[in-house]
Amino acid sequence: MFSIILMVAFISAFTAELKASEANDIIGNENDSISKKDRAKDSLILTPYHLNVIKFNPTPMMLFNEVRNVTFSYERLIKKDKSVSIQLGYLVVPPFLNDTIAETVLFSNYSRKGINVAFDYRYYPGSRNRRPAPDGLYFGGYLSYYGCSFNNQYNFINNPEALNGNIDGRVNMINLGFEIGYQFIFWKRFSIDLLMFGPSLSGYTGKLDVTGDLDLALIDEELAAKLAERFPALGHIFKGESATFTNSKFELTSWFRYSMQFGFAF
C-alpha cells in the first residue's frame, strides 16, 4: 500500500504538467470512438480515444512472492463513461505445510495450484475527470472468485510403524464488492490502473481430507494455526474446529481487494 501511495503521488505530479489542450482533446477517428448518436445525446462527456485496454496484473506475484502467478485483464468501454472488464489468472499460494507439527509429523512433497477470476463494472464520472475514459477516477462493483487446492505428504518422525499419509485440501472464495480507483492513460495508449479501495462481502468454502494414521485431535490447534498463517481464509473457515477438518465448511465474512495493473489501450 505504501508503494501504491508513492506511485499515485508521483504520477499525479507528472500528469499535472500535461497540456490543457490534451486534457480536453477529442478524438476525430469515427472508427475508434462511441457512436454519433451517443455523442449527440451527451456532448459534455469527452469521447474516448480507444475503447479497449488489455492489462497485466503483477499484484498476485508480489503478494505471494510467486512468479507463476500470471494474471491478465481486459477492459471494454460500453459507453463513453462506463466499462466492463474481466480478469483471469493462475494462482499459486505459499506452501500450507512444509515443516513439522508438534515435533511428531514431518510434511513434505507438497503441490499447489489455483485460479482467480474477476468481473468489474466501472463508472468514470465526467465531472471529476478532465480526460476521456478510461482515464481518471472510477468507481463501481465487482464479483471475483479465488480457488486453490493443495496436497501434502506426511511422515511420522518417531513412530516408523504408523501409517504415513496425505492431507488434501481446497479453498474457494467468492467476493461481491465495491471499488474505487484511478487509471492513468499516458500518450493515449499506456495505462497504469490503481484499484485502491475494494471492500466486499465474501463467502469461503473449504475442505480438508486426511489419510493415514494422523490423529488430528492431538495436533488440531497447531495445525489450524499453521493453515491460517499460510492462508488467512482458512482461519475464517476452520476457527474453533478440531477433528472436523475433514468436513466441508462455509463461512460468510468480509474481504478487501486492491491491485496495480499495467496496460495498453487500442
pLDDT tens sequence across 17-46: 444 434 444 444 445 444 555 544 456 789
Residue 3 confidence (pLDDT) above 90: no
Find the mean pLDDT for residues 230-250.
54
Determine the structural domain holding residue 66 and report its residue range: 2-265
Tell me the C-alpha distance between 77 and 85, whole Å. 9
Find the mean pLDDT for residues 205-217.
76
CATH of the domain at 186: 2.40.160
Q: Give the model's confidence band at 80: pLDDT under 50 very low, under 70 low, under 90 confident, else very high.
A: very high
215-237: pLDDT as tens digits: 766 566 666 666 666 656 555 55
- CA torsion sign for 16, 12, 200, 174 is positive
Tell me the average pLDDT of the chain: 78
Nearest partner of 199 among 126, 142, 114, 260, judged by Cα:
142
Tell me the C-alpha distance between 266 and 16, whole Å. 24
Tell me the C-alpha distance between 90 and 60, whole Å. 9
Residues in the chain: 266
CA 173 to chain centre: 11
Question: 209 or 118: which carries more pLDDT confidence?
Answer: 118
What is the number of structural domains in the chain? Answer: 1
The phi, psi pair for 161, rounded to 5°, reads: -80, -15
120-151: pLDDT as tens digits: 999 999 888 989 999 999 999 999 999 988 88
Question: What's the pTM value of the predicted model, to 2 decimals?
Answer: 0.74
Other Cβ atoms less than 10 A from the Cβ of 44: the count is 7
Place of cell 489419510: 211
